[in-house]
Structures are given as structure tokens and as C-alpha cells.
Amino acid sequence: MRAALGAIAALLALAAPAAALAKNAPPAKAKIAAPAAKPFFPPEPPPPPPQLHGIQYLYGSAEAAALTRQTWRMLADFVDEQVASGTHRGVVLTPDSSLTNPHFIPCGDKPPAIVLDVDETSILNLGAEYDDLIANRRVFDADVWDRWEKSGAAYVAPTPGAKETLDRLRDHGVTVIFNSNRAVMNAAGAEAALNAAGLGPARHGETLFLSGDDANGSLKDGRRQLIAAKFCVLAMAGDQLVDFSDLFKTEPNGIAARRATVAYSGIVDMWGAGWFVMPNPVYGSGVQGGPDDIFPKDKQWRDPGSSQPAISKLQPATQLKKAN
Amino acid sequence: MRAALGAIAALLALAAPAAALAKNAPPAKAKIAAPAAKPFFPPEPPPPPPQLHGIQYLYGSAEAAALTRQTWRMLADFVDEQVASGTHRGVVLTPDSSLTNPHFIPCGDKPPAIVLDVDETSILNLGAEYDDLIANRRVFDADVWDRWEKSGAAYVAPTPGAKETLDRLRDHGVTVIFNSNRAVMNAAGAEAALNAAGLGPARHGETLFLSGDDANGSLKDGRRQLIAAKFCVLAMAGDQLVDFSDLFKTEPNGIAARRATVAYSGIVDMWGAGWFVMPNPVYGSGVQGGPDDIFPKDKQWRDPGSSQPAISKLQPATQLKKAN
């Protein structure tokens, strides 16, 4: 907690009342009453944005680093075991699949590969998140993000454990393919970011697929099927459900319905066994909804002893990034 | 996104300008000028708290549900494999261990067990988090939390996948033991919460250990060593580093140092192989620090095209729960 307490102390100091500051006023001359110290109130700092704890957790915490290393390690173990055992079960859904009746594109003799999302799965966009926080930016700014895609390569880092896992799987003959919703016109920037993070080689059209590669815009299924036609896709990783199937987009939506979807009998056994989820409490389809959306009616406890009144509404939490 | 957009729309409507509301004014009588519509400004709703996105993610998102199921599933597979292969490697550190030179309490012929943290590892404290959000509570209130420990049992849920994994491992002869920093005087409430979530039996002193059971307060190593003296602890799960070892508390602190700790050579291979981390971007030691603590200096990108000025300070993000 030392860091946090330090920051708080600094801010409290910043907000020191006039009395404290007046101590630095020159001593009053004898017989002349000292002028009352002019009250000084520094401007109120802006409130922290709703994503602050998510940012602290994802980019700063040892807990998120351990959780991410755990996931990469399990992905590597899973793929190695599939290759060793010769099981080779594909994990990309067929076009005729539904989430309640899923089928997977078979592997045949195709060479083994894994398919990874880029942002907040393979790399952490440290620079862009720092800029959002410092600018106290509360709505997604497509122009800023476009400049980030073009020029941010030196300001990213691999997610903890990503490099070790990718190096290990490549050594074992597994092709690493990235499937991202970064824009095709910024392909050079996407390649540069992945290579700068030590996760390359990433070559657009070969091992990197982007939004605009086909006519389906941000939908990733077409790109997944293209990849699965050439490779035996043994594992996929992403921070958003759409990194595994676009079907999650067309399912009955709403918070509770989405949350139930991942436990469908045909899908529930994929998590940690072909489909690997990375944490992202900062942006995307995981951060939405108000109290009545998030908390089931029968779990809405009110503290009987609390003096604090209920507030009817909060300002809406704005979406800072498109889910990709 | 529908839910989120709905909420935003509702709030925008709430903030509709006078002109719009004036449409409901009676039509002006002929020859008499209509009185200017009296401007109406509804009270500004409070800004969302800094933990809102963390709450949305952890308690509402399908992504967090999938990530948690993935982790429980891998814990179960890991423990079953240890039992089947007869490896039986203990995962509780010996008292003379350091994080750079870790040793583990051997299993001998002791019966297999797993040791789990309770809050935001085995159960989700839905009721308490709803109450914090609705009351817009921005600082941890020990009295509210005490009432929650005593009376919240009906308002919790198991973390997604917890019940399936605990049922499966108990069927396989593994004892499930909870090690929590809930207060010993609220033992009945802790047992009730775990049983209500379907994760019992939890019996204080047998399969449930709490803060106050020994003289070490919230430090969990003493309780871990007590458990490891009787059981072969094959896996531990928690949302905080101190759920695995109190040594993480005494390590050189600060954001970057903590984050580096989990990659120590003696420790890095434990994540996903004996030590299993659950996500918690809402409270605890993972949510602390300001921009300069979170983001390395060489990753602090500023958008060259942005019109938004940098803000020197944010209001400090307050800690809502003690790390346990």
C-alpha cells in the first residue's frame, strides 16, 4: 500500500488549508496587525475515472501478472500435450455451429498453430492507457487510437509470460498467428508493436490478420476460418468473447444472458482447454451495465446499519475502447 | 452493449434540457405571449466510482466468468493429475523459505487437500458490492463489512466453476479447506456464506480457518503451516498474493517491485501449477498507485495530436476493502 498512501499524502498536502500555507507569511511588524492570510484553495482535482482500478490492476498489479503468466503457461502445456499425444483437436468453430451445438473445423494433417488476439492479450498498450489516464479521457477517441496504432510500437510490452510461451511453442514447431481488429491500413504499426514486444515475427497476410482483410469488418470468424483451412488451430487466446467466436455477439444479449452463455454445455469445457481467456477490466464488452444489470435482484443487499442513502443514478460509465 | 447504452440513454433523458421538457407546457392562449419555459436542471448525478469498471467486469462480465471457470478447471485437472500420478508435491512454503529460495512442506503420507481463500476466490460478495455501489461508498467501512460477515450469507454466489471443481475433488477424496481473513468472531457467518454458496461443508477449526485463530492476525502463513502439518496441500487458490505466502508482504514493495516478484525463478513456475490466481480488479493489493507508479517512464506515451491537456493530479483512489 506504500505507493498508494504516498500518492494520497501528496494530494492531501496539495489540498492543505490556508492556515497551513500562511505559516510562510512574513512575521507581522510590531503594532501593525498582520493582514489576514488570504485564503487559498487549490483547484479541486478531477475525480478518478471509472476505469482507474481496472488500470491499476491490469497494468500495475502483481496479481494480474501472476494470473496472466498462469494462463500463458497453461496454454503452452495444453498445446504441447496435444502435439505430444497426437490428439490435434481443432478449436475453431465451423460456420454451421451454434454455441449450444458447436462443431470444430477438423485438423487432418494440417500443421499446428495457435491464434491470438493482440491488444490486452499478447501485448499491453501501456502508452495508450497512460495517455488516456493523464488526459483523463473518458470516451473512446478513434483519432487518438488511430495515431496509437500507427506510432505506439515503442510504448507497448508483452503480457507477462507471453514471450516465454510463444518462444517455447515456436521451438516445438507451432506457428503463432495473430488475429486482431487493428485496422488494415495500420498493418505496419501492428507488425512493429508485436515485433517490439518480442512476440514476432508478425507478417500481415501470413501470421497477422486485421480488420479490413475481408469484407466482414470487425467480425473475426471469416479470418479464423481462413486460418483453420491452412492450419490445425490447437488453441486460441483473447480478452473478449468475440476472440473465440462471433456467435457471442448474436446471442441473447444483456449482462446476465452473456454471463450464462459461457456455461452452455457445448462451450463450458473449452475454457482452459483450447480457449484461453486473458483478464481485461479496462475496456471492451466486459465493462458495461449498471447496478441492476450486474447484480441479480435477489443478491441486492442493503446494509441495515448504514447511514449512507441510496443514490438513484450514477453518471454513465463511458466505454473507453471498442471491444477488440 | 445494449444494457450499457440503455442506461446511458436513460441518464441522457434525465438530463434533457428545458426546451425538451417545455414541450409538455400547455399551449399559449391566443394574443397572450407564452411565459418563457422556466429552465429546469436536474441535479448532477455523482461520478462513477473508480472501481466501477472492476465491478462490472468481475461481477457482471462473461469474460470474467469464463476466466474464473478456466482457472477452477485447471486447478481440478492439476490436482487430479497429482493424485493419479502419485507425485504429491506440497505447495505450502516452509517457514525458512524466501521467495528467491523457496522450499515446500513435504507431503509424506498425509491425505490430499486444497487450501482456498474465501472472498472473491471461492465466493463473490455480490450483496456487499451492490451496497457499496448503491451507497457510492468510496472508502472501506469496517462496520459495514462486519455486518456483512455476520448477515450476508444469502447474498453471495460461488465464483463461476467453484462448485463443480469442489464437488469433483471431494468425490476424488481431496479435502477442501478454506483459509480466510474474515474475523473469528464471525465464524458462523463465514460458515453460513460458504454453505449457502453450495461450497460447504465448512467447519471452523476443521475445514475453515480465520483471522484470530492464532496470534498472527491477518497473516496466513501460520494457518497454512498448521494445515500442511496434517494434509498434503496439492493446490492453493486466491485473489491476493498473500493467499499464497506472507513473504509477498515483506518483499521490497512498490508497484514495479511487486510485479517483478511473481517472476522470481523459484516462484514463476507455481502459477497455474499449484498456485492458482483468481481475478479481482475491485479491491485489495492489486488496486493501488498513480500513473507514475503503474506505467514505466519509458512507456509514458503522449498523443502528439491530442487537444486534451495533461492533468497534474487525480483525486486519490481510495481503497475499498482490506486485502484478504
- Alpha carbon A198 to its chain centroid, in Å, reads 19
Residue in chain B nearest A267 by alpha carbon: B66
Output DSSP code: residue A168. H
Angstrom distance (rounded) from CA A53 to CA B114:
30
Residue in chain A nearest B257 by alpha carbon: A62
Q: Measuring CA to CA, which residue among B289, B46, B313 is closest to residue A43?
A: B313
One digit per residue, the tens of pLDDT, for chain A of length 324 reads 333 333 333 333 333 333 333 334 444 444 555 566 667 777 778 888 899 999 999 999 999 999 999 999 999 999 999 999 988 899 999 999 999 999 999 999 999 999 999 999 999 999 999 999 999 888 889 999 999 999 999 999 999 999 999 999 999 999 999 999 999 999 999 999 999 999 999 999 999 999 999 999 999 999 999 999 999 999 999 999 999 999 998 766 689 999 999 999 989 999 999 999 999 999 999 999 999 999 999 999 999 987 666 766 676 665 555 444
Q: What is the pLDDT of residue B1?
A: 33
The phi, psi pair for A25, rounded to 5°, reads -70, 145
Q: What is the pLDDT of residue A35?
A: 61
ipTM of the complex as predicted: 0.86
Best B78, B292, B301 residue to mutate vs chain A (most A CBs within 10 Å): B301
The phi, psi pair for B6, rounded to 5°, reads -60, -50
Question: Does A248 touch chain B if contact means CB atoms closer than 8 Å?
Answer: yes
Question: Does B15 touch chain A if contact means CB atoms closer than 8 Å?
Answer: no
Question: Does B32 touch chain A if contact means CB atoms closer than 8 Å?
Answer: no
Q: What is the pLDDT of residue A316?
A: 63
The dihedral sign for the CA sequence A197, B293, A143, A49: positive
Q: Write out chain A residues lying below 8 Å of B59, CB-based.
A: 294-295
Tell me the residue length of chain B: 324
Question: Does A2 touch chain B if contact means CB atoms closer than 8 Å?
Answer: yes
Cβ-nearest to A74 among B74, B137, B318: B74
From residue B303, alpha-carbon distances to A119, A127, A283 in Å are 18, 9, 19
Angstrom distance (rounded) from CA A85 to CA B107:
30
Query: The pTM is what?
Result: 0.87
Q: What is the pLDDT of residue B43?
A: 76
| Minimal C-alpha gap between B215 and chain A (Å) | 23
Q: Per the CB < 8 Å rule, is A136 touching B294?
A: no
Question: Does A250 touch chain B if contact means CB atoms closer than 8 Å?
Answer: no
Question: Does A78 touch chain B if contact means CB atoms closer than 8 Å?
Answer: no
Q: Per the CB < 8 Å rule, is B314 touching A272?
A: no
Which string of b and e fits A156-187 if b means at least 16 CB within 10 Å?
bbbbbbbbbbbebbeeeebbbbbbbbbbeebb
Which string of b and e fits B292-311 if b means at least 16 CB within 10 Å?
ebbbeeebbbebeebeeeee
| pLDDT < 70 positions in chain B | 1-38, 251-253, 307-309, 311-313, 315-324
Question: Does B33 touch chain A if contact means CB atoms closer than 8 Å?
Answer: no
